A and B are shown apart, each in its own frame.
Chain A
């Protein structure tokens, strides 16, 4: 933990120093009538390409190009620097042209999605760890189906052994829906525990109408409820951890296309090189 904090502080400080140096250089360049827009433009292009290479690096694990963890750290801090360079490049003002506006919007969206992803990757994993058993995302649908089958088996067994349909009725009315449901996309952010608490309260209320044998089955159902709660939390959390990339990565490649067009336009039309 100590190493992690030291690393974070050192890299943050270095990023801050580099950023400050860039701002000072930009300011001095402007005063000295240097083509700062051109300079920051080329720098920004280099930074964006370096950031994009992180995605490629993950697809080329056989290349001895540092570890993915180091690449991620580079990606994070270079990302922050590129945001600063972007602000300097635009001259702290909104672009006026349609294509440049789209380009700037793409960059901002990529940056925002990256920042959102960074926050998610820092905030969600502890929540998921505290939630319960860590599940493999790809198996969650199967596990949900397995849970549903298990609950169904408990209810059927209870009905057979107790000759009572109280739990079966409860299953049909409440449990079947709950165990089959898939949480919403933003459930981790919205605090989607209401359904679980609702079902558990109903189950608790039902216990007054159950005999001793049925209560034992109800307790088994309660355990299944807890498992489903964790399963939902894991699904929603991991899904969100994957879904932000649906914005970040496609927009990044779109951004590269706009950047290429922008560079071509600049080389073709700019009066100042």
Chain B
């Protein structure tokens, strides 16, 4: 039997104190003292025992484990006879561990204090680098975090704190009034999007069904941080989402794009085109016409080109597409009848009735026809008095005042003089008068200057010389408060269609008796006595003599023909001044269309209707359309263009798919629908969602050929965007914020 090292005899065992802070320094030598070290680590041993007194004797009390009573015994004074030299107590193992624990804890505490309040606290307490998008703008924690607010513990306080944090994100990222709503959509829009959406039986994956039981983290209050988690490195993808995370809120859930994703209903034709262009009739009828073979395009790429980012297919400019065939329609060359637009006219007045009512009429052609043109009415209505007069007139015709009340006759008289005044202003002031009488342009539209159409005051002056030779003197007298009597009625001009070009008429002297005479600078000015109406020298314009007939051997072309490239001309037989469009994107037409499209006044709508009519000069609205928007109407001057501030639910990159086109080219995906009533979506309709596309909707199968997880990928984010709508304000607000941030003082 092997000998045991440790004694198992009870009174031979030593008393161990492993829990004590200190251990006797002699323990390692096998003779620890019975007292052990003190709590502060001091040696308390002076002897091997504390002798006890029995009667008059001292007895040794050394324990058996140390050899029991010694032979020498205690000294007479009661001191132990076996003194023990002091030792150096050692810390126990437990004490050493405790000291280490305190040391490590203190180090950790120091590190934490340094990290949270040290001079490099931003670096130390930063949970990780920001993404490159935020790294430049967010240099201070307080830009994105509520540093000064108290830490929240209760549920409501946490919710409020989260909302405040969210506002810090929205400080730069303005996502609209419903930023916390899914997709930033209004509740009504969300409801509409979800209406009728439901997963097919068994189509919803089990994991999504289970996730519904957890309760999706929205949709009533989606914080930015739900999806975008920062501080994960420069190149961390803030926008990455798993397909299941995209679907968890959706009512119609499915396994993948290839399995369960709803079939396309109208994609990508989600609204009518901005330009009315019937692909079916053009490709099947016009381009197939042998007479147009040289002009017609032979491929889609002749009219369409990819946008710089390759996403959108754009329509090339007018000159590259429509100009070959449609320019003559626009400038009127191919047009039967009047090629210009009536801008001014001397309207027919019931002069007899006016005179009978005692109104001073002055000079006015006896054979004037027609009423005020919408343009004249527009310009007259800018004046409050004229507007009131026109209002008083109401539906009464200026040409027949027999049934008019005295007030209406007075109003008609005022309108007559207002028309004269308008003509005088246009003659004497020219384009500024039009601009002044056009009113202010709505924000975002073309400036009023373009509404003048480069109006020539001289052309009107020439017309005035032919129509109302005394107009300027009459207006001057009227404005002085005099009442000019009516002279002999002006007959219709002798030459009605062969009037002189405007430029030629402007240099003539203002002598009514000698229309073709050169002005004599030495001739005395006509005296007031000679002048029946005492012309105001300020108002009187240089006299102009309308050309009556060309010299022998010369012949005037038609007035319209002489302004084939656009401009102003007149018809003396009808006392009318016309404007002929100069080609595509004529400034005069576009400016007036824009000025009136959103104006609900009767006059404005009359102008718009005149310009937008099917057969209107310029035929602008044959191709260009008007969309009804939330703020009114929007004139589409161009086809769809990339709008960086606008983001739709679906995203597609055309350029990436060019190499996949088959022999049919674009028709691989865009198949003409020859039965579609494309034109029916236009006309009076302004709702962009009511339309019939020229093309059949695409099918999902054309995408799933490649878009599978193992091939081109089939994640939601490849084709869909979460944040949609107008994101323009996002950049604007960020720019404003950066500017303010630069100006703000920074702490050291």
Contact = CB atoms under 8 A, between A and B. Distances in A.
A138 B225 contact: no
B18 A33 contact: no
Interface string A234-273: 0000000010011001110111111011001101111111
Interface residues of B, number: 75
B440 interface: no
B93 interface: yes
Nearest to B31: A142
A98 B118 CA distance: 14
B104 A250 contact: yes
Interface stretch (A7-15, A24-32, A65-73, A111-119): A24-32
Interface string A123-151: 00000000011011111011111110100
Contacts of B226: 33, 35, 272
Nearest to A263: B151
Contact of B225 (A136, A144, A261, A272): A272
Interface stretch (A156-164, A191-199, A211-219, A223-231): A223-231
A133 B2 contact: yes
A25 B285 CA distance: 63
A64 interface: no
A227 B4 CA distance: 8
Contacts of A147: 5
B125 interface: yes
B309 interface: no
A185 B111 CA distance: 30
A104 B565 CA distance: 79
Given A136-B16, A272-B223, A273-B158, A226 B2 contact: yes
A250 B127 contact: no
A241 to B, nearest CB: 11
Interface stretch (B213-221, B276-284, B344-352, B423-431): B213-221
Interface string B241-279: 010110011000000000000000000000000000000
A272 B228 CA distance: 11
B5 A143 contact: yes
A33 B28 contact: no
Contact of A33 (B111, B115, B210, B218): B218
A253 B104 contact: yes
A106 B107 CA distance: 13
Given A136-B16, A269-B141, A34 B217 contact: yes
Contacts of A144: 28
Contacts of A268: 145-147, 151
A257 B242 CA distance: 35
B229 to A, nearest CB: 8
Given A98-B115, A242-B93, A272-B226, A32 B216 contact: yes
A246 B112 CA distance: 22
A79 to B, nearest CB: 19
A142 B27 contact: yes
Nearest to A33: B217
Given A97-B127, A142-B28, A267-B152, A133 B158 contact: no
Contact of B3 (A97, A142, A227): A227
Interface in A81-102: 93, 95-100, 102
B633 interface: no
Given A133-B4, A249-B101, A141 B28 contact: yes
B107 to A, nearest CB: 7
A257 to B, nearest CB: 4
B97 interface: yes
Nearest to B23: A138
A271 B162 contact: yes
B491 interface: no
A28 B158 contact: no
A271 B169 CA distance: 10
Interface of B: 2-6, 14, 16, 18, 23, 27-30, 32, 93, 96-97, 100-101, 103-105, 107-109, 111-112, 115-116, 123-129, 141, 145-147, 151-153, 158-159, 161-162, 165-166, 169, 207-208, 210-218, 222-227, 231-233, 242, 244-245, 248-249
Listed from nearest, the 3 A-B pairs whose CB atoms lie closest are A96-B128, A271-B225, A33-B217
